[in-house]
A and B are shown apart, each in its own frame.
Chain A
């Protein structure tokens, strides 16, 4: 029997223009609890913009967002900051704070934003870093970590805030194959633990294996949405088929 899942995040009519160019056209999306939704599509198709519009790092021209049924009023600063704490974000190029150790990269949000006691924050940070397998690197600075380790620190940093949903923007694009697998393993583990996630990636093998639903985005439009099997084997849209066949040609049937 299929469980009826509650929607965690609902996005409606997201639109963003840069000058004349419309980079996001009326994109809508609902993410249910524990679901992993993967955005695929060509570079420049609007994946990053959509993710950054969801937590208003990019100000959309139109569009509404609900978290657990509650609409986010962007102009209400306090509500916006509170909302962002509940939405973890992972970036393509990690974006760790260069002047802080791995440990303090994780504690800073807890202490400065959530007002947590220092010792409590340290304990939580150590726990989160252990969870992503970085027990031995907590006192290192970003400059002393590998790309994969940096990305895992950034995941720990987001997890420490106890997010309701994670937005993950091409987490492996800046990494070599070995490092990719260590980051993907962490994400798979999150999924197994029921974390709700929206992730953009070019890693089709991973998308096909673990996604609950795949969203194909091109020129700022959501062209097609469906289960991995549907998108990869029986896509309705011509463009989706062309994109996926190119990808399968490149990477085989993985």
Chain B
């Protein structure tokens, strides 16, 4: 009885609070990350030398630094040069930039898979480079990049748990607090794990639906 009371009155409200914070972290980070990824991916394939180099450096840095270190720099480091961000903002900022670097790699792969001939055809019709990228290349590349980008979003859901390291108390943070108050580490983190599993399941279901909705003849998955 006591257990049930404890779960109902302490665990569930705390985790619910944490879950809402997590979702508020994940959704904007996923969207910003994807947008950054598309921009960086396009720059890496179609950019001039300068833009391409900058984009490559960006990806090298943000894929190379551990995410926790990046978050520490945004939250603890930037105040030294007079830039202050709330824990929440620093987390979204850090996640978006890191996620964008990974997305760009999937986007780049997809861009390179578009047949060269279609680019010739677009140019022969009088398309400028920008119009060609927007109307011909991206709609196709996006479909090809989606499985990879979806994977990155699933990762994001889980690495959003790092936000509590810079005092943005989300699901894992709330779990950590209750667990250390009660010493019920196993039970609490098991529940936390299940909640993440639910989140990723919902996300992959959603991503599948998007993939199916965007499916076109010629862009099917090959069934063996």
Contact = CB atoms under 8 A, between A and B. Distances in A.
Nearest to B126: A85
Most buried by B among A88, A99, A161: A99
B140 A99 contact: yes
Contacts of B126: 81-85, 109, 113-114, 161
A77 B124 contact: no
A240 B135 CA distance: 44
B135 A93 contact: no
A6 B139 CA distance: 42
A178 interface: no
Nearest to A86: B126
A154 B120 CA distance: 13
Interface residues of A, number: 34
B218 A93 contact: no
B115 A84 contact: no
Interface in A87-102: 87-89, 91, 93-99
Contacts of A88: 124
Contacts of B120: 52, 57, 89, 91, 95
Interface in A130-148: 140-144
A141 B115 contact: no
Contact of B135 (A82, A108, A157): A108
A49 interface: no
A170 B219 CA distance: 27
A84 B122 CA distance: 10
B217 A95 contact: no
A140 B218 CA distance: 11
Most buried by A among B122, B126, B139, B140: B126
B47 to A, nearest CB: 17
Contacts of A93: 117
A57 B121 CA distance: 9
B123 A84 contact: yes
A107 to B, nearest CB: 11
Interface in B97-137: 115, 117-118, 120-128, 131, 135-136
Contacts of A196: none
B87 to A, nearest CB: 42
Given A99-B216, A141-B218, A143-B218, A91 B123 contact: no
A151 interface: no
Contacts of A96: 118, 121
Contact of A109 (B125, B128, B219): B125
Contacts of A95: 115, 117-118, 120-121
A99 B127 CA distance: 17
Contact of A142 (B123, B128, B218): B218
Interface string A216-241: 00000000000000000000000000
A154 B136 CA distance: 15
Interface string B201-224: 000000000000000111100000
Interface string A154-188: 10011001000000000000000000000000000
B139 to A, nearest CB: 5
A143 B216 CA distance: 9
Most buried by A among B121, B127, B128, B135: B121
Given A141-B216, A142-B218, A109 B127 contact: yes
B143 interface: yes
Question: Top 10 nearest A-B pairs by Cβ distance?
Answer: A143-B218, A85-B126, A95-B121, A95-B117, A89-B124, A109-B125, A141-B217, A84-B126, A143-B217, A81-B126
Interface of B: 115, 117-118, 120-128, 131, 135-136, 139-140, 143, 216-219
23 contacts: A52-B120, A57-B123, A81-B126, A82-B126, A85-B125, A88-B124, A89-B120, A91-B121, A94-B117, A97-B121, A98-B219, A99-B218, A109-B127, A113-B125, A113-B127, A113-B131, A114-B126, A143-B216, A143-B217, A143-B218, A144-B218, A154-B121, A157-B125
